Amino acid sequence: MRILQIVPSISLIYGGPSQMVLGLSAALAAEGAEVTVLTTDSNGDTGQAPLDVPLDRPVIQNGYQIRYFRCSPFRRYKFSLDLLQWLVAHAQEFDLAHIHALFSPVSTAAATIARFKKLPYLLRPLGTLDPADLRKKKQIKRIYAALLERPNLAGAAAVHFTSDQEAKVSERFGITTRDLVMPLGVSLPELPTDPHQAHTQLNLPTDRPLILFMSRIDPKKGLDLLLPALQMLLAEGVEFHFVLAGGNPQDPAYEATVRSQIQASPLATCTTITGFVSGQLKAALLLSADIFVLPSYYENFGIAVAEAMAMGTPVVISDQVHICDEVRQAEAGWVSPCEVSALTQALREALKDEADRQYRGAQAKAYALQHYSWSAIAQQTLRAYQQILARSSFAG
């Protein structure tokens, strides 16, 4: 089976959802599929240099190949005319395309090309059909959807949602779609050689619980709920140390605002701000954390949550992180509404009982290793591809 994975960018700047294409591609290749990733060299739209990668030739890694194309014109929108021209010329060489992101011009155009070339394709919205996300630039998105995404949704062999909740809340613009719910997998970072690396490298205290936020610093992540909740706990005399790990090169002004708020508050004395972390330090922080917290206003899956679970760290998340039902059922942490008082109570409960945290951490790890392994997800994905191709063949 020859599969195309098409994604506007795989730069770390754009966060985990785009990066997951690489984990999926490697896992599919390990199961025997021939996988080609089409993407651009986009590396942000606020002055960063493009990715330093070979252009329009295969880059082999982990059993699959990536073809990068120059992001031009319309760099801000991760568009590539060269990528689309390549797709027009080579679409017939593949069995199926898996297209990641809606409301992104290169993905939109790729779906249109696939439709006209009669190449079966799946669409993965990456949360862009969530009503909360659609409220941003509402009028523009309504026009874009009517003209471009509505026919792409109608022509898709399936729409790939990563949780039941994402599928339940997503807008379809009046189209009846064939929905395919498959979670994302977890690619665990390399384990640190020193289990105390995070405490040593960042000079973290060892005499109080560690609360870790590790995600993109973005308004949707609920930091405006988390910081007041932590301050309320401090005022009650609850002891903890907070680590804010992450960055946002796309919105440095918001990141700076969050830093300033912390530094001007009582949290300044019990907070470590690390910026973006990766590799062994990322793994060390996840291992050292007593609680991982992500109170997002909307999150179609929550890759960071799944990573924390796989490392055995219990989670405190909002009920708008769409794997919240799985967290509840697995007893892998605590789920709260997007309200300061409710989040404060969830954190208060998590902090008061070390034995309960250890139990929920073990539950989280067991659930993640069973349900978020790339091998299992690749097998499920290939079965879905085969069913789509069988339907296409029958229809033909």
Question: Side-chain half-sphere of 53: how many Cα atoms within 13 Å?
Answer: 25
Residue type, 178: R
pLDDT tens-digit profile, the chain (396 residues): 999 999 999 987 777 777 789 999 999 999 999 999 999 999 876 667 889 999 999 999 999 999 999 988 766 678 899 999 999 999 999 999 999 998 889 999 999 999 999 999 999 998 888 888 888 777 888 788 778 889 999 999 999 999 899 999 988 888 899 999 999 898 877 788 888 899 999 999 999 999 999 999 999 999 999 999 999 999 999 999 999 999 988 888 999 999 999 999 999 999 999 999 988 999 999 999 999 999 999 998 889 999 999 999 999 999 999 999 999 999 999 999 999 999 999 999 999 999 999 999 999 999 999 999 999 899 999 999 999 999 876 554
In whole angstroms, what is the distance from residue 120 CA to residue 97 CA? 6
CA angle 36, 72, 82 (to 5 degrees): 40
CB 74 within 8 A of CB 105: yes
**pLDDT at residue number 250:** 81
pLDDT, residue 89, reads: 98
Asked if 361 and 290 touch (Cβ cutoff 8 Å), the reply is no
User: What is the C-alpha R_g of the chain?
Assistant: 21
What pLDDT shows up at residue 228?
98
| pLDDT number for residue 385 | 96
pLDDT value for 244: 98
* Domain spans in the chain, listed from the N-terminal domain onward: 2-185+373-395, 197-371
| Pairwise CA distance, residues 286 & 275, whole Å | 15
- Give the per-residue pLDDT at 393: 63
pLDDT score for 144: 82
- CATH code of 197-371, in short, is 3.40.50.2000
Q: Which CATH number fits domain 2-185+373-395: 3.40.50.720, 3.40.50.2000, 1.10.1040.10, 1.10.260.30?
A: 3.40.50.2000
The pLDDT of residue 300 is 86
pTM reported for the whole predicted model: 0.88
Indicate if 197-371 has the same CATH topology as 2-185+373-395: yes
How high is the pLDDT of residue 208?
96
In angstroms, rounded to a whole number, what is the distance separating the alpha carbons of residues 312 and 136? 35
Measured CA to CA in angstroms, residue 311 lies from 290, 304, 338 at distances of 11, 11, 25
